[in-house]
Structure 1
Amino acid sequence: METTPLHSLSITGVLSESNRIIKANYIHFITLSLFFLPLTFSLITTPTFRLAGQLFTADHLHNFPPNFLHKPPISHLLYILTLYIFTLCAIATITYTTYHGFSGKPIKFSTAIKSLAFSFLPLVSTTILLHLLLFCISLTFLLFVGSIVTLLQNIGFVIDYNLIHFIWFSDFVVAVLIVIIIYFHVNWCLACVIAVTESNWGLEPLMRSSYLVKGLRSVSLSLLLYFVFYGGILVFVCTDVALATGLRRSLLVFPVMFGSVFLMVVLLVSIVGNIVLYMYCKGLHGELGIEIAEKLVYFNLHSDDEKVSHVVTVAAD
């Protein structure tokens, strides 16, 4: 009789399984997620100093590190490149660890770091292509809207850019652009996981992600909105608290460190959640292999005996 998969995955299930997986080897995952700290620290501090420069008087600006507000462009580029590399290292090692943990293979910290030798370049090429495609899609949409506005002006319409109606139109254009970006992100959400686990690169991970996520786009969208919302709230609150301290260095360290660490954990859970979604998608497409197709379990990373959680269940008659 034909095997019928149970389409029972929800965002609650993904988060629950992600938390169980992380708790199975909490120290291991937290150690790997330290690669996220430069990014999270930057997300907390950069808005703080930028807003402070706008809102505070010159008396407060002497509290900044020397030349902080006037770094040369090359310094900013190197800083962004460093953040990008560390972030990709975190994604690659956490993905490798979690994926191989599903098969019960013991993964050590050194093994996860060594995996960068063969997973980093596919991940880099895939993420760069993904960002370029999103940029081109956004630019094409904006050029299309701009051409329509220009055409209307050429045929005689007078457009007052200060009118409230034009402001509403601009807000509508931005909202549509956000929806378009979210749509492609939902379809390509598994691209980074595929680049690491299947050693694919370029367009192939994007196309395969679109194939695997069919039927579970609602879960992918829910995960995206969930982590963007809570991550955004965390950054906003910690930045606001940091501003309230008046940039006193003795007080600034607390909201910055607190926000950086908790945002690091949010990113960790989001990466593991994406891998749970990836494994479930593979199960629904019959790609897990007969030995684990009926019941996929996540094992302790350092033990072949201890079962942590059931992630995918496929009903078989």
Structure 2
Amino acid sequence: MSAPLPYSHSLTFCGVLSESKRIINAHSRHFLALSVFFLLPLSFSLIIFPTLHAALYHPNPIIFYTSRFIRFDPTRADVEDDDEADLKFFVFHLVYGLFVFLVSLFGVSTISYSTFHGFYGRPVKLVSSFKSLLYSFLPMIATVVVAKVLLCSIGMAFGLSAGLLLKGLEMVGVEVDYDSVYFMVVAIIFAVVVGLVMLWVQVNWVLAPVVVVAESRWGYGPLRRSADLVKGMRGVALSILLFFSLLIGCLVGGCSTFLLHVGVAGGWWSWAVILQMVISSGFATVLMLQSVAAGVVLYMYCKALHGELAFEIAEEFAQDYVSLPFDKEKVPHVVYVV
């Protein structure tokens, strides 16, 4: 058990939010700069994407996507025009997806690095945060690839199981009515089970990005390490995951829908629409920043729960440490478990 410093928090959802907010406030300019570099462009692009898509392709995304993948007459005269449109469609979404992936990866890596050092009361600098990308970029990509492959494998396993089950019922003479209410109910229950399994996996892997940055692991290692650390804190991890996912999703989805159907589809741009975009992007940026910082604090709390934090703090402050009166907001907060 580590001795508590003047500030301590219980290992709860509110404690994680409070501690992450304290770290951000203690280095407000630093995190503001990182947010402007990475999170603000990300949140703005997510809000503006449906409108940009409608302006470039079709005002109704559902109709456009359907027309891209379902062709009723492939011999018609405008097939070449469709092929060119398909190429532009593919390139546009590839570039946008790559942009979102890289910006989010940069933001998570640099903010996790800064929050991790800010938790210990170390000075955080933009140069150091940017340099951390040299060490975490490739490991983060490898971890994301492994996680996506595993998630796709889980989804394919459920889909294959459902397909084999239906095929087996048909082979033994059971007629399956795909239009019946009972089949729809079973399908919904099956989808809910798959969703809960995916959510459980995400909860276990919630600390993987922090492990990559803080422990220099990559691939399957951070996923396994996260699953081990989060034991005993899954309730807090689930609360954090759902809290920020729902808030950010509702904010971005609602604002992008408003912008698409009211601003552009209505044929008018005004200061009110632009102001709404700016305010929405700002709020989404703040939520994303708080979400990443909360993940790092949760990682530290999980280590405290497993008795790993006391040894690291002893190593951290083995050297002489001078606390100046005006450094009160930057002293480390040590959590302890009785």
TM-score range, shorter chain: 0.7 to 0.9
Q: Does residue 1:266 correspond to 2:268, yes or no?
A: no
Alpha-carbon distance between aligned partners in 1 of 2:162 and 2:100, rounded to the nearest angstrom: 33
Give yes or no for contact 2:212–2:218 (8 Å, CA) kept in 1.
yes
State the partner residue of 1:219: 236
Output aligned runs, 1:178-197, within 5 Å.
178-197=195-214
Output aligned runs, 1:89-168, within 5 Å.
89-168=106-185
Q: Does residue 1:54 correspond to 2:60, yes or no?
A: yes
Q: Deviations over 1:291-317 (max 9, x none)?
A: 737xx9xxxxxx99333576443257x
Distance change >3 Å, CA 249–CA 153, structure 1 → 2: farther
Output aligned runs, 1:213-292, within 5 Å.
213-242=230-259, 243-245=261-263, 246=266, 248-250=268-270, 252-290=273-311, 292=313
Higher strand share: 1
Letter in 2 for 1:53: P
List gaps (5 residues or longer) in structure 1: 58-66, 297-302
Give yes or no for contact 1:21–1:309 (8 Å, CA) kept in 2.
no
Q: How big is the shift at 1:95?
A: 0.6
Alpha-carbon distance between aligned partners in 2 of 1:75 and 1:44, rounded to the nearest angstrom: 16
Q: Does residue 1:36 correspond to 2:39, yes or no?
A: yes
List gaps (5 residues or longer) in structure 2: 64-83, 318-324
Give yes or no for contact 2:26–2:329 (8 Å, CA) kept in 1.
no
Q: Does residue 1:88 correspond to 2:105, yes or no?
A: yes
Q: More displaced, 218-227 or 228-237?
A: 228-237
Q: How big is the shift at 1:91?
A: 0.5
Distance change >3 Å, CA 191–CA 311, structure 1 → 2: same
Q: What is the aligned counterpart of 1:206 among 220, 223, 229?
A: 223
Alignment partner of 1:144: what SS? helix
Give yes or no for contact 1:95–1:275 (8 Å, CA) kept in 2.
yes
Report the RMSD for the aligned CA atoms in angstroms. Answer: 3.2
Distance change >3 Å, CA 230–CA 315, structure 1 → 2: closer
Q: How big is the shift at 1:170?
A: 2.1
Alpha-carbon distance between aligned partners in 2 of 1:253 and 1:70, rounded to the nearest angstrom: 31
Q: More displaced, 284-293 or 214-223?
A: 284-293
TM-score in terms of structure 1 length: 0.84
Distance change >3 Å, CA 49–CA 166, structure 1 → 2: farther
Structure whose alpha-carbon radius of gyration is higher? 2
Q: Does residue 1:17 correspond to 2:19, yes or no?
A: yes
Q: How big is the shift at 1:266?
A: 0.9
Percent identical among aligned pairs is 40
Q: How big is the shift at 1:277?
A: 0.6
Give yes or no for contact 1:105–1:304 (8 Å, CA) kept in 2.
no
Give yes or no for contact 2:120–2:332 (8 Å, CA) kept in 1.
no
Alpha-carbon distance between aligned partners in 2 of 1:287 and 1:261, rounded to the nearest angstrom: 36
